[in-house]
Amino acid sequence: MLSSLPNNFRAIVLGASGAIGGALFKALSETPRCAAALAVSRSGEDAFDITHEPSVEATARRLAGHGPFNLILDATGVLVLDGILPEKRLDALNPAHLLRLLEVNAVGRAMVLKHFIPLLSRQERSIFGVLSARVGSIEDNHLGGWYGYRAAKAAGNAFLQAAAIEASRANPQAVFAALQPGTVASNLSKPFRSADQTISPDVSAAGLLQTLNQLQAKGRAWFVDHRGEEIPW
């Protein structure tokens, strides 16, 4: 697993309390070549909350002493917030709720990029992967609806792309990727998908790590799914 990373590579999983984050952390913990897998979540040390920049900064500062890292994964994200389901129609749009979705999925992601990209190794191959969603693709939107989540994921992708281009100038070996994990059994997907319509977090995590292992640095970000297929932005 992750044979393209150096032996004894070091990794961080943000959002490790989630279904996919937890599975990614478990897979890395069971990978002998991974010298250290560090799990970060809201319920852990630093009360890491991506909507509160000081907590993101404090976590990054604390972990910097354990780096540099060859693999950083951000598995945070929300779909249903405050009990409000994704909008099916334009007339369901609520500005305060739209801003909340953007706050977590886009601005929160930007704060993660700001404080964690500097922790990537510059001497060796490194990978920064963030959990996006296929519905964040503007081009690949065939159904409409889910306005807030779609827009927030697209904005999160835009932050990643800009950060990837900037960071690649100083760190040309670094790989950046927005990831579609499949339709995965989790609290996030539960209201919308029955068990037989989902894959397990472990299957998703294995696919995501295999995909990341094969990506080459290219001076900008990839948008790929857990089977390694590219998604249009």
Ligand X SMILES: NC(=O)c1ccc[n+]([C@@H]2O[C@H](COP(=O)([O-])OP(=O)(O)OC[C@H]3O[C@@H](n4cnc5c(N)ncnc54)[C@H](OP(=O)(O)O)[C@@H]3O)[C@@H](O)[C@H]2O)c1
Residue ranges that bind ligand X, judged by CB under 6 A: 15, 17-21, 41-43, 48-51, 75-79, 104, 108, 131, 133, 180-181, 183-184, 186-189
Of the two residues 137 and 171, which places its CB atom closer to ligand X in the complex? 137
Whether the bond into 68 is cis, omega within 30 of 0: yes
Question: Cα separation of 171 and 127, whole Å?
Answer: 11
Of the two residues 75 and 120, which places its CB atom closer to ligand X in the complex? 75
Of the two residues 171 and 176, which places its CB atom closer to ligand X in the complex? 176
- For the CB of residue 224, give the shortest distance to ligand X in the complex, in Å: 13
Map residue 55 onto helix, strand or coil: helix
Q: Which runs of E-coded beta strand occur in 105-187?
A: 126-131, 174-180
Question: What is the DSSP secondary structure assignment for residue 215, as one 8-state letter?
Answer: P
- For the CB of residue 12, give the shortest distance to ligand X in the complex, in Å: 13
What strands, in cross-sheet order, belong to the sheet with 9-14? Answer: 34-40, 9-14, 71-74, 126-131, 174-180, 221-225
- For the CB of residue 34, give the shortest distance to ligand X in the complex, in Å: 20
Of the two residues 173 and 183, which places its CB atom closer to ligand X in the complex? 183
- For the CB of residue 209, give the shortest distance to ligand X in the complex, in Å: 14
- Which amino acid, one-letter code, is at 31? T
